[in-house]
Amino acid sequence: MYLFEVIPSELRNLLRLIHKMLSNRRVSEEDFERERKVILSEIKMRNDDPGTLIYDLGPRALFGDSDYGAPPIIGTEESISSMSVRDIVDFLESYYTPDNIVISMVGPINMAINEIMEIFNKWDGKASRKKEPTIGKGEPIIIKKPVESAYLSYSWQYNVNNEDPFLLSIRSSLLEFHLVSGLSSYLMSRFRNKGGLTYTIDMDRDYLPGTYYYQLVISAVDEGGN
């Protein structure tokens, strides 16, 4: 998702810029190599920070070696190092196509629909067929690092079946509030009463086709606590 905010008088210029950005297929080798270095640096920083790495381990421990358990969007050192400009162009041609994108606008729109459509009419291409994502079964992951505190992640999934995604999202929000931030949170009160145990508790959740995924992260746990 790309989000743009603009004053109404500049809407036409913004739409022209968006069209140019989405339909562009030219990738500079120099820009590509510069960005590769930036991303590799970000991955290293991410892997060196246990408070960030723990969120990547949850899906992998739950779904294993599958699409659902794949590494984070930023990729891995191996995938970024082996990528080429041709890979980027192929990706743009496969997915940055008019039949694969929805544009929504909210606010004091001062343009007719026909005028908006005219900006994007010259954009062509057809998206490649998307494969069905694989879902596997993982196993516990333990990584030992020379850090001062322990970081724990508990992941579980809930099969959605034919449930209303909107109602499921509401129930998930209530669960997150009760476990993490509610004044009567059972987990918070239990951890608070443990002498010498430092903590923060956070919850991550995501709706995936056919299942809802939850991850409870307990950070900065004193290894000396019980």
pLDDT for 224 beyond 80: no
Q: Across residues 174-191, what is the average pLDDT?
A: 69
Instruction: Report the residue count for the chain.
Output: 226
Instruction: Kindly tell me the sign of the dihedral angle through the C-alpha atoms of 1, 170, 201, 66.
Output: negative
Environment class of residue 188 by beta-carbon count within 10 Å: exposed (0-12), middle (13-18) or buried (19+)? middle
In the chain, % of residues over pLDDT 90:
41
Q: Is 223:151 a contact under the CB 8 Å cutoff? A: no
Lowest-pLDDT range, 101-105, 137-141, 206-210? 206-210
Instruction: Report the range of poorest mean pLDDT among 53-57, 146-150, 214-218, 219-223.
Output: 219-223
182 pLDDT more than 80: no
What pTM does this model have?
A: 0.71
CA distances from 38 to 43, 81, 100, 183 (A): 9, 12, 28, 41
Give pLDDT, residue 63: 93
Confidence of residue 190 (pLDDT cuts 50, 70, 90): low
pLDDT at 195: 52
Whole-number Å distance between alpha carbons of 139 and 58: 10
* pLDDT single digits (tens) 11-42: 999 999 999 999 988 999 999 999 999 999 99
- Across all residues in the chain, what is the average pLDDT? 85
Confidence of residue 152 (pLDDT cuts 50, 70, 90): confident
pLDDT in tens, 51-96: 888 999 999 999 998 988 987 888 899 999 999 999 999 999 999 9
Alpha carbon distance 198, 179 (integer Å): 17
- Residue 95 and residue 128 in contact, taking contact as beta carbons nearer than 8 Å: yes
Band of the pLDDT at 184, cuts 50, 70, 90?
A: low
* pLDDT surpasses 80 at 192: no
Residues of the chain with pLDDT > 70, as a percent, come to 88
Q: What is the mean pLDDT of residues 143-159?
A: 85
